[in-house]
Amino acid sequence: MKKDFLAFTDIDEHELESIIADAVRLKHLKSAGTAHELLRGKSLAMIFEKASTRTRVSFEVGMTDLGGHALFLNPQDLQLGRGEEVRDTARALARYVDAVMIRAYRHANVEEFARYSTVPVINGLSDAQHPCQVLADIMTLTERFGDLRDLRLAWVGDGNNVCNSWILSSSLTGMEIVIASPPGYQPDGRLIDQARAAGGRARVVTDPEEAVRDADILYTDIWVSMGDEEERAERLKALRHYTIDTRLLAQAPPGALVMHCLPAHRGEEITDEVMEGPQSIVWDQAENRLHAQKALLVRMIAGDIPIP
C-alpha cells in the first residue's frame, strides 16, 4: 500500500528512527562523493501554491542526487489554476510520476490530493502542518544530542503550522514542547489533546520566559505566515513581546540552542544578534532538509531498502 507523509500521524516511532538513520547515512555518502542513485529513473512532481526557497531546492536537488528527476509545477501553469479539480489532477499525475510533493494553502486540499493519488504524497507545507521541516529539525537535533527523549523545546511566538508539526512529533520523539504564545495565536487545544493521547508532551503558556527557563532548544518562526499577510499589523502588535533576543536567550540555560525554520524576519521574531550568534543552528537545519527528505523519498518510493 502506498504511504503518504502529510503529518507525523502518518509514521510511527520506528519509521521516524529509520528515516533519520538513513538521512545521516545519505549525508555521509554525499559528503564522501559516493554515488547513491537509489531512485534512478523515478520522478517526483512538486506542486507549489506558495513561494519556497528551501523546500523547492532541497527536493529538486535531492531527486537529482538520487538519480531521479523532479518537476516544478506552478498551479498557475497547470489546469488546476483554471479550475480542474484536485482529485482529477491527483489521479492524472499519479499515472506519470512516482510521488508528489505539494505545498498548498489548505491542508484539506493536500488530504484530498492524497486520497485520490495512487502514488505517495508528501506535504511540503500547508496551513496546518509542515512535517518535512520538523523531520529535518529532528535530524539536526539527533546529530547534536543523540537521544532526544526528555529534551525540552520552547516554541516562542505564533502557534502555527511548524509548531503544530512539533506538537504531533512529540509522541514519536519523547521531547516536551512548551509553547509560549499570546491568546489568539496559540495552537489548537485539540491538537495538543491528540498529541497527549498518543503519548506526546505539549503544553501552552503565555510567558516566554517561563517557556525558555529550562529549555534545551528555543524555536521560532515568522509572525506573518504565507496567507496571513492581511493580518500583518495586528500580528506584529500581538506578538511584539515574543522576540527571541539576547535578553530572552539569557533566561535559558547557557548551552541552549536556537532554531528557526527560515525565512526569518530579523527584528521581529528573532534578532540579528541571536540568529548570527553561537547558539544558532539555523543553517544546519536548512541543510538537513536535503538529507532528511532524500531518506523520506527513498522510503516512500523504493520502500524499506538498505542504504549502503
User: With CB under 6 A as the contact rule, which of the stretches 12-20, 175-183, 206-214, 217-225 interacts with ligand NVA?
Assistant: 217-225
Check binding of 54 to ligand CP (CB under 6 A).
Answer: yes
Taken in order 122, 123, 124, 129, is the CA torsion positive or negative? negative
Check binding of 261 to ligand CP (CB under 6 A).
Answer: yes
Collect all residues with Cβ–Cβ distance below 8 Å to 24 and sequence separation of at least 6. 139, 142, 143, 291
User: With CB under 6 A as the contact rule, which of the stretches 3-11, 113-121, 237-245, 261-269 interacts with ligand CP?
Assistant: 261-269
Check binding of 221 to ligand NVA (CB under 6 A).
Answer: yes
C-alpha dist (Å) from residue 178 to 40, 110, 194, 203, 253:
42, 28, 15, 5, 15
Q: One symbol per residue from 95 to 134: x for binding ligand NVA (CB under 6 A), - otherwise; what is it? A: ------------------------------x----x----
Sheet bearing 176-180, strands edge to edge: 201-205, 176-180, 152-156, 217-220, 257-260
Collect all residues with Cβ–Cβ distance below 8 Å to 268 and sequence separation of at least 6. 222, 223, 236, 239, 243
Q: One symbol per residue from 267 to 306: x for binding ligand NVA (CB under 6 A), - otherwise; what is it? A: ----------------------------------------
> Which residues ranging from 162 to 191 are in contact with ligand NVA (CB under 6 A)?
162
Please list the active-site residues: 103, 130, 133, 221, 261, 289
Q: In the complex, which residues of this chain contact ligand CP (CB under 6 A)?
A: 52-55, 125, 133, 261-263
